[in-house]
Amino acid sequence: MSKQPTIGFIGAGNMAGSLIAGLLADGYSPAHIWAADVDPDKLASLQTRFGIHTTGDNHEVARQSQIIVLAVKPQVLREVARDLASTVQRQAPLIISLVAGITEDAIDRWLGGGNDIVRCMPNTPALVKSGATALHGNDRISAEQRSRAEAVLRAVGLAVWVDREDLLDVVTALSGSGPAYFFLFMEALEEAAARMGLEPNTARLLAQQTALGSARLAMESDEAPAELRHRVTSPGGTTERAIRTFEEAGFRDLVSRAMADAHRRAGELSEELGSDR
């Protein structure tokens, strides 16, 4: 970004800290970053690590910022947004929400209406700059705002746009909850290998490196995962036997059912968290 707008973070937890670290690594000036939080220890940590501006006053951040990143817990966003509404209405910043489950309409309503909003669904690997984030903007955002929002999220990994807001619930079921699915599979691999006699720490390291290597291979290849799987599945070999066991046990159907349940729950949470009650 040639001319850096001031970015203000409302909430100074892990995700905000990761984004700030990523932005600074990309050359963003700490003089153009503010953060507010109710926890002074979090603010002190950010100030010490990054040299950014910190305050306990959300309104001060809103007054200083052309971009406001909402990074609070879903349960408190309504209260935080309503409190900020008067300042946001005067300043008219771009609003980027990292808050899971809260729709653009609810955020806009709580902030007084007529706001430029980008809603994002990041995931926890953003903490190690390997995140996968989907974004959707309301009808008010400009091409420049779209570019700015994408640049903020790209600081911690992959950033892609979806063309309908409801697809963020699918993203929640896929990449939002997805790290837990992979951790579960790694956990199961570790336990199985340990039961077969492998030392537990060795089993863990091998499972972790296999997951990392497989993901890198998939990301760096032009081939689909199905083709990559075929390439390591020799006819009559050990991999073929294991894959057959997975398939016969209904592995794909189980994944589909789990995704559907997560997707359904994401919709339920949006309704619950976005109400005005």
Query: pLDDT tens, position by position, for the chain (277 residues)?
Result: 458 999 999 999 999 999 999 999 999 999 999 999 999 999 999 999 999 999 999 999 999 999 999 999 999 999 999 999 999 999 999 999 999 999 999 999 999 999 999 999 999 999 999 999 999 999 999 999 999 999 999 999 999 999 999 999 999 999 999 999 999 999 999 999 999 999 999 999 999 999 999 999 999 999 999 999 999 999 999 999 999 999 999 999 999 999 999 999 999 999 998 888 7
Please report the pLDDT score of residue 1 as a whole number: 42
Q: What are φ and ψ of residue 10, in 5° steps?
A: -100, 105
CATH superfamily label, 176-270: ProC C-terminal domain-like (1.10.3730.10)
User: What residues does each domain of the chain span?
Assistant: 7-169, 176-270
The token pair that represents 231 in the structure block: 């390439």
In whole angstroms, what is the distance from residue 205 CA to residue 194 CA?
A: 12
For 70, 80, 113, the CA distances from 88, given in Å and listed in that order, are: 12, 12, 10
pTM of the model as a whole: 0.92
Place of tokens 């959300």: 58
Please report the pLDDT score of residue 159 as a whole number: 97
- % helix, strand, coil for the chain, step of 5: 60, 15, 25
- Which residues lie closer than 8 Å to 45 by C-beta, 6 or more apart? 17
CATH superfamily label, 7-169: NAD(P)-binding Rossmann-like Domain (3.40.50.720)
The token pair that represents 275 in the structure block: 């109400």
- Which residues lie closer than 8 Å to 138 by C-beta, 6 or more apart? 104, 108, 115, 116, 117, 118, 119
